[in-house]
Amino acid sequence: MNGEAMGETPDRDGRHERIDPKLLEILVCPLTKTTLQYDAAAQELISRAAGLAYPIRNGVPLMTVESARRLDDSSASPSGK
């Protein structure tokens, strides 16, 4: 299993910065209160119920609806997650 699947994010130098797995377990969508899926490649937390992707910047999830990207947005992750 690679580091990204375990909750690591690349830093500015391409190294991986670890995201606390417990944090990923307890975070929910602020709009729907449903669980989130972690997309390591896009550095986003996905809420399928809300149709939103919340960005992760410098290892910190930005959990506001205003900062989220709509999943039907043309800039969707090529990984399909």
pLDDT at 75: 54
State the pLDDT confidence band at 2, using cuts at 50, 70 and 90. very low
Q: Are the C-beta atoms of 55 and 62 separated by less than 8 Å? A: yes
Cα atoms found within 13 Å of the Cα of residue 66, Cβ hemisphere only: 0
Distance from C-alpha of 53 to C-alpha of 68, rounded to nearest angstrom: 5
pLDDT at 21: 85
The pLDDT of residue 41 is above 70: yes
How many residues in total does the chain contain? 81
Question: Pick the residue with more confidence: 41 or 76?
Answer: 41
Domains and CATH numbers, the chain: 4-70 (2.20.25.10)
For residues 27-41, average pLDDT: 94
For residues 29-46, average pLDDT: 94
Q: What are phi and psi of 43, to 5 degrees?
A: 55, 55
pTM, two decimals, is: 0.69
